Amino acid sequence: MAPRMKFSSAGSCTILPPEGHRGREGARSMELGYVGLGNMGGALARRLLVSRRLRAFDLRPEAVQDVASAGAQPAQSLEALGQACDAVLLCLPTSNEVREAIFGEGGLAAGMTPGGIGVDQTTGDPNATRAMAAELAERGLELIDAPVSGGPHGALAGTIAIMAGGTEAQFARMRETFEAISPNVFHCGDVGAGHAMKLVNNVIAASVRAATFEAVAMGVKNGLSLTACAEVLHKGSARSYTTEFTLPRLVDGSGKSNFALELMLKDVRLATQLGVDSGAPMFMANVARNLFQQAVNEHGGGEDVNALIHTVERNADVKVVGG
C-alpha cells in the first residue's frame, strides 16, 4: 500500500505519553531535548523555545550558549539529556552522526527510559533510520524521522515543511510538538518515509539548481545578462526556488545560501543510492551528482552550494557572475 500523506492542521490536540513513561501528560509538559545546534538545528531549537521548554546539547559550547541565551537549558552530556527528556530531537550532518549520538558510549540510548522517543530531523538515509528504529525498539525505545525543508529562515519564521515518518501513534504523540515549529506538518508514512520524502525534495532541488545554472550560462554566452535571466525565468514556466531566490542573490552579490556543497552532494548521493537499492533509475539525478562532485573537487566541500556556478562557468568558458 502506498504511504498516505496528510496535512496536520493546527487544531487542538492532547498528546499522551506512553504508559508508564514518567506519568507526564500533554505535549506542553513533555520534556524535550535537542541535539545538533548548527544552522538548521539551532534555528529549529530557537523556534521550539518560543512555546516549549527545551534542553540542548552540542559538541560546540558556543552553539549551546547561543540557544541558552534564548532560554534553553544546557545538557552536560547526551546520556544526561536522554535521562531528563521524554523526547529528543536530533539534527546532525548524516545518519552516521545520529547513530553515534544515540548508540555511542554515553549516548542517548544509555540514558533514555522505556517509552522515550527520538526524532531524527537530519536529512538521513531511510534504511539507516529503519535499522536504528529496530535496534531501539529492542530496548523499549522509539525513533521516528521528521526532516525539514525551507531553510533556517523558514524554521525561525515558522513556515518550514516537516516530513514525518512513523506509526500513527508516534505521529500523534509528536504532532503538537511539530506544530510548535510550523503548521506545515506532513505524515508521509512509516519510519523512514520522512527521510525518503526529504531525499525526493532535495534531489529535485539540486537537479533544478544544476540545470538552471547550466542554462543561464548558455544564455549569458549567447548575449543574455544574468539580470535578465533572473527576471524572466521566475515569471515563466521555468520558475523555481533557484529562480526566485538563488539567481537574485547571484545578481546582487549576496550569493551564499548557507548550505555546504558537501551536504548537497551527500543528499544527492543518498537519493541516487536509494534509487539503486529500490530499482528506480535516477538518470538525471546522477548527472547532477557528477556536477556537484566536480564542484566539490574544485572548490572544497565546505564551500557554499552556490559555488556550483563557478564550476558551470568553467565548463562553459563564460563569466556569469560579475561578468
**What does 252-311 look like in DSSP terms, one character per residue?**
HT----S-BHHHHHHHHHHHHHHHHHHT---HHHHHHHHHHHHHHHHH-TTSBGGGHHHH
From 198, 235, 256, 266, active-site residue: 198
The answer on 183 and 50 residing in a single domain is yes
Same-domain check for residues 150 and 248: no
**Which letter, b or e, does each residue of 113-150 get, where b requires 16 or more Cβ atoms within 10 Å of its Cβ?**
eebbbbbbbbbbbbbbbbebbeebeeeebbbbbbbbbb
pLDDT digits (tens, 9 = 90+) for 156-206: 999 999 999 999 999 999 999 999 999 999 999 999 999 999 999 999 999
CB 199, CB 216: distance < 8 Å:
no
Domain co-membership, 181 together with 225: no
pLDDT in tens, 47-67: 999 999 999 999 999 999 999
Q: How many domains does the chain have?
A: 2
* Same-domain check for residues 170 and 82: yes
The answer on 225 and 178 residing in a single domain is no
pTM of the entire predicted model: 0.88
Task: Tell me the C-alpha to C-alpha distance, in Å, between residue 269 and each of 46, 172, 192, 200.
Answer: 30, 32, 17, 12
Coil, strand or helix at 52: coil
In a domain, 321, yes or no: no
- Tell me the C-alpha distance between 36 and 148, whole Å: 14
Identify the CATH number of the domain in which residue 106 sits. 3.40.50.720
Domain stops at, among 171, 191, 211: 191
Domain that holds residue 155: 6-191
Residue in this structure with the C-alpha cell 539503486, named with its chain if needed:
276
Residue 110 to residue 102: CA distance in whole angstroms = 8
State whether 85 and 114 are in the same domain.
yes
Give a yes or no: residue 136 inside a domain. yes
Question: Which one-letter DSSP state was computed for residue 4?
Answer: P
| Whether 33 and 140 share a structural domain | yes
Whether residue 122 is predicted with pLDDT greater than 70 in this model: the reply is yes
- 221 is known as an active-site residue: no
Instruction: Looking at the structure, tell me whether residues 95 and 136 fall in a common domain.
Output: yes
Shared-domain flag, residues 96 and 41: yes
Asked if the structure places residue 1 within a domain, the reply is no
Q: Are residues 272 and 125 in the same domain?
A: no
Tell me what percent of the residues of the chain surpass a pLDDT of 70: 91
CATH code, domain carrying 308: 1.10.1040.10
Based on the domain organization, do 282 and 186 belong to the same domain? Answer: no
When mean pLDDT is compared across 7-21, 58-72, 195-209, the lowest value belongs to 7-21
For 59, the 3-state DSSP assignment is coil
Question: Domain check: are 117 and 11 in the same one?
Answer: yes
